[in-house]
Structure 1
Amino acid sequence: MPHPLDSFFAPASIALIGASRDHEKIPGRLLSMLRKNEYPGKIYPVNPNYTEIDGLACYKSIAEIGAPIDLAVIIIPARAVLPALEQCAAAGVKNAVIISSGFAEEGGDSAAMQDAIAALARRTGMRISGPNAEGFFSQVQRVAATFSPAVDVKPDVVPLVATTKRIGIVAQSGGIGFAYYHRAKALGIAVSYVVSAGNESDLGAGEFLDYLVQDAATDVILLFIEGIRDVEKFLAAARRAGEMKKPVIVTKVGRSGAGMRAAASHTASMAGWSAAYDAVFARYGFIVSNDLDEALTIAAVLASNPLPQGDRVAVVTVSGGAGIWGADAVALRGLQVPELSERIQTEIKTLMPSYGTARNPIDVTAQGVTSGGLQKSVDLLTASNEVDAILVVLSLSSEVRKPFKEEELTPVLAAQKKPVVFYSYTVPSDFARRELAKSGVVVLSGLTHVGVAMRQLVDYAKFSLPKPADETRLPARDLSAHLISKALSEADSKALLRAAGIALPDEVLVQEKTGLDDAVARIGFPLVMKIQSPDIAHKSEVGGVRVNITTKGEVFLAFEALLANARKHKPEATLQGVLVGPMAKRGVEIIVGTMTDATFGPMVMVGLGGITTELFRDVVYRPAPVSAEEAGAMLAGLKATPLLNGFRGAARADVPALSQLIADISVLAARHAQEIAEIELNPVLVHAEGHGVTIVDALVVGRK
C-alpha cells in the first residue's frame, strides 16, 4: 500500500529554490550532492539571478517551470520562505524541505513566521519538513536532499557494506542524524534513510518514524529525539513497530536541567520529562542508548544477526587475556558464560594446541587461526544447543592476513542459526573490515558496547507488546462531587476512590469527641487515628498520626493530642477532624501513584513504599492505563522485587492483587485525566499470597 510520504522520500522531480553555482556554499552544495549521488529524477534550479547552473536551465520562479514537482528544497533567507511556499502551493508542489534557519529557535517574530508555515501546510495539504532542517538522504532511491558532507561521494572509494539489512535514521538534530550515518558507513552497516526533522512545523519525528516502520527496505531504526510534538502519530508508529517486531534504538537527550534548557532553545521543542519518555520506550520495546557509539554497536549487531533463543554466550578467542575480558564484558551484563560439556570440550581440544583451553571462554590460541581451529570452533558452537550466542574476540590489525576463509565463514553466518558477534581488541585494518564484510561481518571495537549490545539483543528477543488494559472492571462513574478542591485530604481522597470502585478498609471521620464511641464500636481495636486536613499532606511531620491504639482511654487522649499538634504546627490549616481506621496487618510497603506528563498525559508509577520511597527512588513508570499483566512487568522491573517474592524465607506477597490494584488505579487516572492530576497511595501493604493488599494512606490532587 502506498504511504503518503512516498513522494517525499522518492520524488520524481526536485526544485531547488535558492540554487547557486558556488559549491562552497550550502545552496550550491545541495545541487552538487544530488548529482554526485546520481539522483535519477529531474532537477529544476530556481534563482532569478541565473539562466543556467551547472548545465541545467535555471528558472526565475517555481511557476515558470510548468512541470509537476514532487519536492521543493528551500534555502533562501527566512523572510522570503513563506512567499516561496505560497508559490509552491499554487504550483501544486506536493512536498517541501526548508533548510533555512531563523524561525521558532529564535522566538519572537521568527516563531510567528514558523506558525504561518504550519498554517499553510494545514490549509494547502502540502507536506513540509523543517524549517532549520538538514534535509534527508534516501540511499535506496539515491535522493541526497541535504548539504551534509556525510553523503559526499569520493571518486574511486568503494563503499564498505557488510549487512544486507538496512538501518533507517530519524533525528531531531541534523548534525547527529548524519553523524549516525557517517559512523554506520565506516562500520559497513547498510542504511535506507537518514532524515533530519528540524523544527517540525508540519512533518515531525512521529510521522517519519511511521514511514520507516512500514518501509520494507528498513530493518532497524535509530531515533535521536529532544522532544516529541506529534505525540499521537509517534505512539501509533511505536505500537506498530512493537507489533511488527522491528527494532527501534532510541537516544533521548535533554535529560539534565542544562540539556533541557538547550533542547528548548535548540528546536523550540518541549523536552518533556525523561521518566515519561522512558516509560513509553519500555512499553513499546524501544532499546534505549545514551551513547552514539553504543547505539551504532547495537544497530550493527541487530543488522547482522538473528535474535538469540536465550542468554548463554560462548566466547571464542585467539588471546587468553582478551577472552577473559570478553567473558567479563558479557557476564557483567548478566549474561551466562556456561562451562561447556565434556563432549564439546573434547571435540574443540582436537582443534587447538595443548596449551589452549576449551572450557569457555575458548582460547584456540594464535595457532588456531592458521590451523583452522578458530573457524571449526565457530562451526561447532553454531550447531550446539549449549549456547545461544557467540562472541569472537580476536586481533584484526593485519593488512594481509585473514583469520577466516570467506567460503567457510559465509555459509555458517548466512544460516543465521544464532548471533555471532566479532570484536577486535586491536584497531581493525581496512583490509580486515572489507574481507570480513564479504561474509556479512561488522567488526566492532568497543568491548563495553559489545556487552551492552548482546544484553539488549537477549532482552529484545523476549519482548512482546503488553496486553491492553481492561477498562471494563471499574464502573464508569461521575466523580465531580468528590473533587471539591485541588488538594483533597486523605478522608476525601479515600471517599473518591471508594466511589470509583477501589476497595479500601472501613474508616470513620470523627469531627467531635462525642463521635469517638461509635467509631470504636464500628472499627474495633487495634486502631489508627490520623488528623485530616486538605492543607496537611504529610501528617507524620506535624505529629498527626497515632498507631496501634488498644484502649478507649488512648482513643480520647489521641484525639485531643492530634488536634493540638495540628493547630501548633499548622495554625492556618483547615481541620476536618480525625480519621479512625483499623490497624493494617503486616505486609511489604509499596507506593502506587499517577501523575500527568505534559507530553504523554497520565502516567502510573509503582515503587518501594513507606518512608524509604524518596531515599531509594526505586520506581518504575508506564503510560496509563496498564493491564494487570503490564503492572506485573513493572513490579518485576523494581530492584525491590525480591521483597515481594519471599525474600529470606518470608512468605511470597500477593503480587496478583497488587498488579490488579495498579491496573485499576491506572484506568481511573486515564479515564479522569481532565479532572485528576495526581493520585498517591503510600503505603500500600501487600500481604501474603492470597491475602490481598491494604491501602493505608491516599492522596488525590484535582485539576481545579
Structure 2
Amino acid sequence: MPHPLDSFFSPASIALIGASRDHEKIPGRLLAMLRKNEYPGKIYPVNPNYAEIDGLACYKSIAEIGAPIDLAVVIIPARAVLPALEQCAVAGVRNAVIISSGFAEEGGDSAAMQDAIAALAKRTGMRISGPNAEGFFSQMQRVAATFSPAVDVKPGVVPLVATQRRIGIVAQSGGIGFAYYHRARALGVAVSYVVSAGNESDLGAGEFLDYLVQDSSTDVILLFIEGIRDVGKFLAAARRAAEVKKPVIVTKVGRSGAGQRAAASHTASMAGWSAAYDAVFAKYGFIVSNDLDEALTIAAVLASNPLPKGDRVAVVTVSGGAGIWGADAVALRGLQVPELSEPVQAEIKTLMPSYGTARNPIDVTAQGVTSGGLQKSVDLLTASDEVDAILVVLSLSSEMRKPFREEELTPVLAAQHKPVLFYSYTVPSDFARRELAKSGVVVLSGLSHAGVAMRQLVDYARFELPKPADEARLPSRDLSAHLTSPVLSEADSKALLRAAGIALPDEVLVKDKAGLDEAVARIGFPLVMKIQSPDIAHKSEIGGVRVNIVAKGEVFLAFEALLGNARKHRPEAVIQGVLVGPMAKQGVEIIVGTMTDKTFGPMVMVGLGGITTELFRDVAYRPAPVSAEEAGAMLKGLKAAPLLNGFRGAAKADVVALSQLIADVSVLAARHARDIAEIELNPVLVHAEGQGVTIVDALVVGRG
C-alpha cells in the first residue's frame, strides 16, 4: 500500500529553487550532491539569473518548467520563500523542503512567516518539510536533497558495508542527523534514510517516524528529538513500531534547564517535561540512549544480530585481562556470565594451549587466533544452549593478519542463532574492518557501549506492548459538582474519588464538637483525625494530624488542638472541619498520582510513598490510561520493588490490588483530563497479599 510520503522520499523530479553555480555555497552544493549521488530523476534548477547551470537548463520560475514536479528544494532568502511556495502550489508541486532559515527560530515577524507556510500547506495539500532544515538523504533511491558534506561521494573510495539490514534516521537537528549517518558509514552500518525535520511547519518527526516504521528497507530507527509537535501521529507511529517489533532508539535532548533554553531558541518550542517523554518511550519499548556513540553502537548491534533468547553471555578473548574487562562490562549491566558446564569446558580446552581458560570468560590466548581455536570456540558457543549471546574481545590493529577466515565465520553469523558482538581493545584497522565486514561483522571500539547494547538487546527482546486499559471497569460519572475549587481539601478529594468509583475507607467530616460522638460511634477506635482545608496541602507540617487515638477524651482534646494549630499557623485558611477516619493497618507506603503534561496530556505516576517520596524520587511514569498489567510493569521497574515482594522475610504485598488502583486512577485522570489537572494519593498503604490497599490521604487539583 503506498504511503503519502512516497513521492517526497522517492521523487521522480526535483526543482531546485535558488540553484547556483557556486559549489562552495549551499545552493550550489545542493545540486552537486544530487548529481554526485547519481539521482536518477529529472533536475530543474530555478534561478532568474542563469540560463543554464552545470549543463542543465535553468528556469526563471517554477511555472516556466511546465512539467510535473514531485519535490521542490527551496534555498532562497526567508522573505521570498512564501511567494515561491505559492507559485509551487499553483504549479502542482507535491512536496517541498525549505532549507532557508530565519523563521520561528528567530521569533517576531519571522515566526509569523512560518505560520503562513503552515497555513499554505494545510490549504493546498502540498507537504512541506522545514523551514530551517538540512534536507534529507534517501540511500535507496539515491536522493541527496541536502547540502550536508556527510553525503559527499569521493571518487575511488569504496564504502564500508557490513550490514544487510539498514537503519533509518530522523533528527530535529540536521547536524546530528547527518552525524549519525557519517558515523554509521564509518562502522559499516547500512542506512536507508536520513531526514532533518527542521522547524516542522507541516511535516514533523511523528510523520517521518511513521514512514520509516512502514518502510520495508528500514530495520532499525534512530530518533534525535527536542520536542514533539505532531503528537497524535508520533504516538500512532510509536505504537505501530511496537506492534511490528521494529526497534526505535531515541535520544531526547533538552532535559536540563540550560538544554531547555537552547531547545526553545533552536526550534521555537519548549522541549517539554522529560519525564513524560521517558514515560512514552517506556510504554512503546523505545530504547533510550543519551550518547551519540552509544546510540550508534546499539543500532549497529541490532542491524547485525538477532535478538537474544536470554541474558547469559559468553566472553571469548585472546587476552586474559581484556576478557575479564569484557565480563565486567556485561556483568555491570546486570547480565549473567555463567561458568560453563564441564563437558563444554572440556571441548573448549582442546582448542587452546594449557595456559588458557575455558570457564567463562574464555581465554583462547593469542595462539588461539593462529590455531583456529578462536573461530572454533565461537562455533561451539553459538550452538550451545548454555549461553544466549557472545562477546568476542580481541585486538584488530593488524593491517595484514586475519583473526577469522571469511568462509568459516560467515555461515556461523549468517545463521543468526544468537548475537555475536566483536570488540577491539586496540584501534581497529581499516583492513580488519573491511575483512570482517565481508562476514557481516560491525567492529565495536567502545567496551561500555558494547555492554549497554547487550543489555538493551535483552530488554528489547523481552518487551511486549502492554494491553489497553479496561476503561469500562470504572463507571462513567459527572464529577463537576465535586470540583468546587481549584485545589480540593482531602475530604472533598476523597468525596470526588468515591463518586468516581474508587474504594476508600469510611470517614466523617466533623464541623463542630457536637458531631464527634456520632463520628466515633460510626468509625470506632483506633482512629485518625486531620484538619481539613483547601488551603492546607501539607497538614502534618502545621500539626494538623493526630493518629492512633484510642479514647473518647483524646478525641475532644485532639479536635481543639487541630483547630488551634490551624488558626496559629495558617490564620487565613478556610477551615472546613476535622476528618475522622479509621487507623489503617500497616503496609508498604506507596504514592500514586497523576499530572498533566503539556505535550502528551495526562500521566500516571507510582513510587515509594510517604515522607521520603521527594527524597528518593523512586518513581515511574506512563501516559494515562494504563491497564493493571502495565501498572504492574511500572511497579517492577521501581528500585523499591523488593519492598513489595517480601523483602527480608516480610509478607508479600498485595501488588494485584495496587496495580488495579493505579489503573483505575489513570482511567479517571484520562477521562476527566479537561477538569482534573492532578491527583495525588500519598500514602497508599499496600497490605499483605489478598488484603488490599488503603488510601490514607488524597489531593485533587482542578484545572481552575
TM-score, normalised relative to structure 1: 1.00
> Which residue in the other structure is 1:509 paired with?
509
Deviations 1:179-222 (A, max 9, x none): 00000000000000000000000000000000000000000000
Deviations 1:651-694 (A, max 9, x none): 00000000000000000000000000000000000000000000
Cα offset for 1:88?
Answer: 0.1
1:299 lines up with 2:299 in the alignment: yes
The answer (yes or no) to whether the contact 1:399–1:429 under 8 Å persists in 2 is yes
SS at structure 2 position matched to 1:571: coil
Residues in 2 aligned to 1:314 and 1:492: alpha-carbon distance in whole angstroms: 59
The answer (yes or no) to whether the contact 1:528–1:583 under 8 Å persists in 2 is yes
The within-5 A match list for 1:64-103 is 64-103=64-103
Residues in 1 aligned to 2:591 and 2:352: alpha-carbon distance in whole angstroms: 57
SS at structure 1 position matched to 2:329: helix
The answer (yes or no) to whether the contact 1:428–1:445 under 8 Å persists in 2 is yes
Residues in 2 aligned to 1:463 and 1:545: alpha-carbon distance in whole angstroms: 44
> Which residue in the other structure is 2:362 paired with?
362
The answer (yes or no) to whether the contact 1:12–1:70 under 8 Å persists in 2 is yes
Segments of 4+ moved more than 3 angstroms: none
> Which residue in the other structure is 1:133 paired with?
133
The answer (yes or no) to whether the contact 1:33–1:146 under 8 Å persists in 2 is yes
The within-5 A match list for 1:352-431 is 352-431=352-431
1:460 lines up with 2:488 in the alignment: no
Residues in 2 aligned to 1:512 and 1:325: alpha-carbon distance in whole angstroms: 71
Cα offset for 1:272?
Answer: 0.6
Cα offset for 1:302?
Answer: 0.2
Cα offset for 1:384?
Answer: 0.3
Deviations 1:591-638 (A, max 9, x none): 000000000000000000000101100000000000000000000000
Deviations 1:82-117 (A, max 9, x none): 000000000000000000000000000000000000
The answer (yes or no) to whether the contact 1:228–1:270 under 8 Å persists in 2 is no
Deviations 1:42-62 (A, max 9, x none): 000000000000000000000
Deviations 1:450-482 (A, max 9, x none): 000000000000001000000000000000000
Residues in 1 aligned to 2:474 and 2:352: alpha-carbon distance in whole angstroms: 66
Residues in 2 aligned to 1:615 and 1:260: alpha-carbon distance in whole angstroms: 24
Cα offset for 1:503?
Answer: 0.3
The answer (yes or no) to whether the contact 1:393–1:422 under 8 Å persists in 2 is yes
> Which residue in the other structure is 2:206 paired with?
206
> Which residue in the other structure is 2:242 paired with?
242
Cα offset for 1:584?
Answer: 0.2
1:434 lines up with 2:446 in the alignment: no
Residues in 1 aligned to 2:73 and 2:109: alpha-carbon distance in whole angstroms: 23
SS at structure 1 position matched to 2:561: helix
SS at structure 2 position matched to 1:472: helix
Deviations 1:211-240 (A, max 9, x none): 000000000000000000000000000000
Residues in 1 aligned to 2:181 and 2:282: alpha-carbon distance in whole angstroms: 25
The answer (yes or no) to whether the contact 1:167–1:189 under 8 Å persists in 2 is yes
Deviations 1:129-162 (A, max 9, x none): 0000000000000000000000000000000000
Alignment gaps of 5+ in structure 1 = none
The answer (yes or no) to whether the contact 1:399–1:430 under 8 Å persists in 2 is yes
The answer (yes or no) to whether the contact 1:631–1:659 under 8 Å persists in 2 is yes
Deviations 1:528-565 (A, max 9, x none): 00000000000001100000000000000000000000
Cα offset for 1:394?
Answer: 0.3
Residues in 1 aligned to 2:563 and 2:273: alpha-carbon distance in whole angstroms: 39
SS at structure 2 position matched to 1:15: strand
Cα offset for 1:420?
Answer: 0.3
Residues in 1 aligned to 2:353 and 2:647: alpha-carbon distance in whole angstroms: 48
Cα offset for 1:121?
Answer: 0.1
The answer (yes or no) to whether the contact 1:323–1:363 under 8 Å persists in 2 is yes
The answer (yes or no) to whether the contact 1:539–1:545 under 8 Å persists in 2 is yes
The answer (yes or no) to whether the contact 1:210–1:237 under 8 Å persists in 2 is yes
The answer (yes or no) to whether the contact 1:62–1:87 under 8 Å persists in 2 is yes
Deviations 1:398-451 (A, max 9, x none): 000000000000000000000000000000000000000000000000000000
Residues in 1 aligned to 2:637 and 2:327: alpha-carbon distance in whole angstroms: 25
Deviations 1:225-272 (A, max 9, x none): 000000000000000000000000000000000000000000112301
The within-5 A match list for 1:529-678 is 529-678=529-678
Residues in 1 aligned to 2:131 and 2:103: alpha-carbon distance in whole angstroms: 7
TM-score, normalised relative to structure 2: 1.00
Residues in 2 aligned to 1:228 and 1:73: alpha-carbon distance in whole angstroms: 24
Deviations 1:277-320 (A, max 9, x none): 00000000000000000000000000000000000000000000
> Which residue in the other structure is 2:253 paired with?
253
Residues in 1 aligned to 2:616 and 2:634: alpha-carbon distance in whole angstroms: 17
The answer (yes or no) to whether the contact 1:73–1:96 under 8 Å persists in 2 is yes
Residues in 2 aligned to 1:513 and 1:348: alpha-carbon distance in whole angstroms: 83
SS at structure 2 position matched to 1:330: helix
Residues in 2 aligned to 1:217 and 1:85: alpha-carbon distance in whole angstroms: 31
Residues in 2 aligned to 1:267 and 1:655: alpha-carbon distance in whole angstroms: 43
Residues in 2 aligned to 1:385 and 1:431: alpha-carbon distance in whole angstroms: 33
Cα offset for 1:118?
Answer: 0.1
Residues in 2 aligned to 1:186 and 1:649: alpha-carbon distance in whole angstroms: 53
The answer (yes or no) to whether the contact 1:684–1:694 under 8 Å persists in 2 is yes
Deviations 1:338-389 (A, max 9, x none): 0000001011001000000000000000000000000000000000000000
Residues in 1 aligned to 2:392 and 2:243: alpha-carbon distance in whole angstroms: 32
Alignment gaps of 5+ in structure 2 = none
Residues in 1 aligned to 2:208 and 2:351: alpha-carbon distance in whole angstroms: 51
Residues in 2 aligned to 1:34 and 1:468: alpha-carbon distance in whole angstroms: 46
Deviations 1:568-589 (A, max 9, x none): 0000000000000000000000
Residues in 1 aligned to 2:594 and 2:351: alpha-carbon distance in whole angstroms: 60
Residues in 1 aligned to 2:648 and 2:359: alpha-carbon distance in whole angstroms: 34
SS at structure 1 position matched to 2:556: helix
Residue range with higher mean Cα deviation, 262-271 or 169-178:
262-271
Deviations 1:477-534 (A, max 9, x none): 0000000010000000000000000000000000010000000000000000000000
Cα offset for 1:41?
Answer: 0.1
> Which residue in the other structure is 1:698 paired with?
698
Residues in 1 aligned to 2:323 and 2:700: alpha-carbon distance in whole angstroms: 55
The answer (yes or no) to whether the contact 1:500–1:668 under 8 Å persists in 2 is yes
> Which residue in the other structure is 1:315 paired with?
315
> Which residue in the other structure is 2:274 paired with?
274
Name the count of aligned residue pairs: 704
SS at structure 2 position matched to 1:432: helix
> Which residue in the other structure is 1:14 paired with?
14
The answer (yes or no) to whether the contact 1:229–1:270 under 8 Å persists in 2 is no
* Percent of aligned pairs sharing the same letter: 91
Residues in 2 aligned to 1:306 and 1:448: alpha-carbon distance in whole angstroms: 20
Residues in 1 aligned to 2:617 and 2:23: alpha-carbon distance in whole angstroms: 55
The answer (yes or no) to whether the contact 1:137–1:145 under 8 Å persists in 2 is yes
